[in-house]
Structure 1
């Protein structure tokens, strides 16, 4: 059973897409509501939106299973991301709009949660840890770009709604401030889209857990409003016309990420000529 897709790159940068998956194993789907079968809280089409990144030499790690199976950006110990605020669980039981995910009596118990950790969470994070270690060994630096998207309203979490780009570095602790400022400037230098840097969110488990800039492992999270590239209601269609406008900004963002990683790598950049 394939629980993730991995494609190595040729730069110190890896893109992680922990919420892009839509698969629901049959045994889990059998206990879910009809609404949950639509997996509305997916980070829809992000693999398509960022499909230019391999040409920049960036590696990819993408989940195949829905976040309703298990959330790959949550602490496996079950600790919430924010004290005193609404949090979704490691194995979510309600959607972002607070609809029930499971039919009555079908919620995952402790035994089932532990099974899903072993079957889905651990393989993804094992590959993530191994690739970050490999990048660090090859280049002396590793940069993880944890890519996300979300419905532009998200009233459960932010009453006023989200801006177009939300850049997060766990209050400045997960990445070099030089990298963070460069990326924030890329997003701010466009009049067509709004952006915020380390404001409403501190980032998920991946940003907080893997970011160790003092050890030359840098992690940034970018949350893109789905209104910029797709229809936000079912069937959640990709809008090529909208994507064509936002993709140049994302290309500049990823390009800046790669350029900074090479500037701070301990090995000489390899330039390959294609004929």
Structure 2
């Protein structure tokens, strides 16, 4: 493991388990676009209590992390839009799930009756509190107390979604329109194949239900113009966030963007590739082209909405 990654984990291990803060909003001085960016899986703060409870260490524990995705989309404020980014890691708590998708195999004691213990994601070990990292290894050396799991939902999941909902509602209230860009990365081994080869980017719009077609079309075209191979909905159609916040009939649109990790980092060492700045610039440029076009196509605020 590279020394810089060792130092990264050791330094973060000294942070308070409450993360302080759990998430950050990078906002422009004045929001000028009806857009909100979200990076829910880029968190890289691993508190000492989590490291102590895990049977994994170093890179093994970071396999579920969308490493550097917040940096790929860091220019969001320059586009006139806020970027919400988690600091807690996905392996600790996954906000792209229902609040209580919990695996009873992980816990000492009985889960509350409202917990969803039978979802496909729970069966795969990837619930709200994951049992496995992305490569299939068990995270914990012991079972967790039910109270500990519920406390994570209260302390991290619920405040994160309140913040995301507030950003979307404020955007919608100001512009009469809200576009959520949900930012993720994917391992190259999982990417759907096209005739042109491995997809560089997968756009997920829940098969056309989470946003107007013009949004997916415009982003895809802008990325293709920059030479990227783009697929739709396979293997990633969008998760809980895209489904939950995408309400096209209410002028709230959500699109998930999955970027192939091999484009910008070494997937084995998690070290950024020299081409990282170019990928980030291409993403920024594509969205800078597409989003104003989408906002114009979707039209001005409807009468009665508090748009400026």
Pairwise TM-score range, normalised by the shorter structure: 0.7 to 0.9
Q: Is the contact made by 1:41 and 1:150 (CA closer than 8 Å) also made in structure 2?
A: no
Partner of residue 159 from structure 2, selected from 105, 108, 123: 123
Q: Which residue of 2 is the match for residue 273 of structure 1?
A: none
Q: In 1, Cα distance between the equivalents of 2:176 and 2:76?
A: 21
1:226 offset after TM fit, Å? 0.8
Given the two structures, how large is their TM-score scaled by the length of structure 1?
A: 0.86
Instruction: State which drifts further: 10-19 or 39-48.
Output: 39-48
Residue correspondence of structure 1 range 16-27 to structure 2 within 5 A: 16-27=38-49
**Greater RCO (CA < 8 Å, at least 6 residues apart):** 1
Q: Say if 2:256 is the partner of 1:256.
A: no
Structure 1: which 5+ residue stretches go unaligned?
Answer: 271-275
- Structure 2 vs 1, CA of residues 45 and 81 (structure 1 numbering), >3 Å: closer, same or farther? farther
Q: Say if 2:78 is the partner of 1:55.
A: yes
Q: Is the contact made by 2:131 and 2:139 (CA closer than 8 Å) also made in structure 1?
A: yes
Q: Say if 2:128 is the partner of 1:90.
A: yes
- Structure 2 vs 1, CA of residues 138 and 84 (structure 1 numbering), >3 Å: closer, same or farther? closer
- Structure 2 vs 1, CA of residues 83 and 247 (structure 1 numbering), >3 Å: closer, same or farther? closer
Partner of residue 200 from structure 1, selected from 227, 235, 238: 235
1:189 offset after TM fit, Å? 3.0
The count of corresponding residues between Structure 1 and Structure 2 is 263
Q: In 1, Cα distance between the equivalents of 2:84 and 2:76?
A: 12
Larger radius of gyration: 2
CA root-mean-square deviation: 2.8
Given the two structures, how large is their TM-score scaled by the length of structure 2?
A: 0.77
User: Could you report, residue by residue, the CA deviation over 1:61-120 in whole angstroms, capped at 9, with x for unpaired residues?
Assistant: 0000011110011111315775898461111111111112111x2x33432221110011
- Structure 2 vs 1, CA of residues 61 and 265 (structure 1 numbering), >3 Å: closer, same or farther? farther
Partner of residue 65 from structure 2, selected from 28, 42, 45: 42
Structure 2: which 5+ residue stretches go unaligned?
Answer: 1-19, 102-115
